[in-house]
Amino acid sequence: GKVLVTGANGYIATWVIHKLLEQDYSVRGAVRSESKATLLRKAFAAYGDRFETTVVEDITKAGAFDEAVKGIDAVEHTASPVYIATDDPDEVIVPAVHGTTRVLESALAYGSNVKRVVYTSACATIVHVQDAPYTFSEADWNDAVVAEVKEKGRAASQLAKYRASKTLAEKAAWEFVEKNKSKIGWDLVVLNPPYVFGPPIHDVAQSPEDLNASMRQWFQSVLKGPELLIDGGMCWTDVRDLAEAHVLAIQKQEAGGERIIVSEGPFKWQDFAIAASKQGIKVFVNDDSYNPTNATHHVIYDTSKIARIFGLKFRSIEESTADIIDDLRARGWI
């Protein structure tokens, strides 16, 4: 089959495309400009005409994906602003929400072959502040952050704006499906990853500052310190496992209509620092008394749904870190 991947030049999407092509799918990658399309075609040249590109300059415009969905069997929608520097919450929220609705509208109107749409949401739509350790599941929603951004507006933090954008976008997707259920010939799968780490294969210009947001944060926290904090941490997943989940999401019938948390488990930056030091990297370790086996994690995700539907085996912190370090060494950045 042929899969449309939006935000195709991104960190996660490039791995998704790679996995799809490796499993004999054809892929149409949607990006914002012809120069990005050219780079991407070069990166996937080995797959010949199984990889093609399309340019969608403005994903918020009515009919934005009308051409892009033609002849497509499944859609993977990943395009969304991630931690952009802006005061105006709408600059994050509008592309996240409208971009998602446009994809679904076009899939409804012109995606006559489309059987499934997979939307890359985030655990940002699930997690909310808790005083005590709490296990979140797919039943939880981060409505609090939407209210917070509504109240604070421009003064809300960058993180809050991002989280609100993802929450509103995922809600818009489920509402679209509910409203149009009698008309659509496809179903929706939503994947909710927490922090995503792992070696990048997308075009990263020339320095660690050019990494995508989550890997930039990994680089800073794990290798640069000294803001390495035992208390800092959330949950994570390796980008290659997340990409595999995107492939399974179009293959597994029973995934239809589900939101699915894709998480390896909790971490503290210290865990990655310890793993990096095993690779011969000198890191700032801020507390020698840290013992990973009795660390308390405040945010935990119930991963029983992904275990049941996908049966995916996740890479460990050690495996992922070893591969990140190899990649950064090859780039000459460490």
Give the binding site for ligand NDP (CB under 6 A).
7, 9-13, 32, 36, 59, 78-82, 95, 99, 120, 122, 166, 193, 195-196, 212, 214
Q: Which CB atom, from 189 or from 196, has the smaller least distance to ligand NDP?
A: 196
What are the helix (H) ranges across the chain? 11-22, 34-43, 90-110, 143-152, 158-179, 213-218, 239-251, 269-277, 304-309, 317-330
Least separation in angstroms between residue 191's CB and ligand NDP is: 8
Q: How far is the CB of 230 from ligand NDP (least distance, A)?
A: 21
Cβ contacts of 318 within 8 Å, gap of 6 or more:
275, 278
CA distance 112 to 171: 24
Residue nearest to ligand NDP (CB): 10
Show the tokens assigned to 73. 């069997």
167 or 212: CB nearest ligand NDP: 212
Structure tokens at 2: 């042929």
Distance (Å, whole) CA 54 – CA 10: 15
Provide the minimum distance between the beta carbon of 170 and ligand NDP in the complex, in angstroms, as a whole number.
10
C-beta of 31 vs 275, nearer to ligand NDP = 31
Q: Which is nearer to ligand NDP, 113 or 138 (CB)?
A: 138
CB of 169 to ligand NDP, least distance (A): 8
Residue 29 vs 111, nearer CB to ligand NDP:
29
Phi and psi based region of residue 45 (left: phi greater than 0; alpha: psi -120 to 50; beta: remaining): alpha
How far is residue 146 from each of residues 91, 175, 190, 214, measured CA to CA in Å? 15, 16, 19, 22
Told to judge if 166 belongs to the known catalytic residues of this protein, a careful annotator would answer: yes
| Given the residues 19, 166, 268, 305, the one annotated as active site | 166
Nearest distance, CB of residue 167 and ligand NDP, angstroms: 11
CA–CA distance, 314 with 303 (Å, rounded to integer): 11
Active-site residue set = 166
